[in-house]
Amino acid sequence: MGAFGGSIANADKHGTTSWTDISTTISEVKAVRGQGHDRLRRHRAYKKQTLDAIQAAKAFVAGLSEEEIRRRNVALLLPGRSNNTRVPCPAGDHKCIVGGQAVEVSPARLVDGEIVVTRTFMPTSLTCPICDLRLLGNAAIVEAGAGAPYTVNDVQDPIDFHNIDVMDYLSDEDVKQLVEARFEPEYGND
């Protein structure tokens, strides 16, 4: 059975096929070829849309003052989500934030006394706080030149990693002492 429904494979015992089978196969080939052309047209339109967005972002950032760029750059200094990374922005000489979907997670390993898990991400969103460029989907980010997979090393808390409930190991007196040590200095209501 072939990719087109096996029409030619349905030949009679003499190896001949009917004209109906051949014309059906030809129309199936044309349909598949047409789907390829449609896909190519959609890809070109998507590429143009991405490149137009980058050009618009370049024009926008060109009109910003240095003070405004510094103000907008503060967003990059704030801690991000653990699945984000910062990469050069396709629209200028600044950084942007790329978020992604985890595609691979390494086994936990001990590094310098800490439990580390490395996660590999496929970029799915790009956001620039400076030029306001926003791209969604890996295809757009690849077109923009920022679609390479990236890795993030997560340091795991040993208590969380091993699902330890510390309350199982503390007496009521221990908990009382911890609470007093934590809150007593703040209030000083003795």
Interval 128-134 mean pLDDT:
92
Residue with the larger pLDDT of the pair 123 and 187: 123
Residue with the larger pLDDT of the pair 122 and 3: 122
Residue with the larger pLDDT of the pair 121 and 168: 121
Residue with the larger pLDDT of the pair 169 and 144: 144
Question: Which of 77-86, 93-102, 169-178 is the most confident on average?
Answer: 93-102
In one-letter notation, the amino acid at residue 5 is: G
Q: Please say if the pLDDT value at position 7 is more than 50.
A: no
Tell whether pTM > 0.95: no
Q: What pLDDT was estimated at residue 3? A: 45
Q: Please say if the pLDDT value at position 77 is more than 90.
A: no
| Gyration radius from the chain CA atoms | 29
Q: What is the pLDDT of residues 157-188, one digit of tens each?
A: 887 878 888 778 778 888 888 788 777 655 55
Task: Tell me how far CA of residue 71 lies from CA of 68, 91, 174, in angstroms.
Answer: 5, 18, 48
Contacts of residue 146, Cβ cutoff 8 Å, sequence gap at least 6: 87, 88, 90, 96, 98, 123, 126
Distance of CA 107 to the CA centre of its chain: 21
Q: Please say if the pLDDT value at position 11 is more than 80.
A: no
Q: Please say if the pLDDT value at position 106 is more than 80.
A: yes
* DSSP assignment letter at 121: E
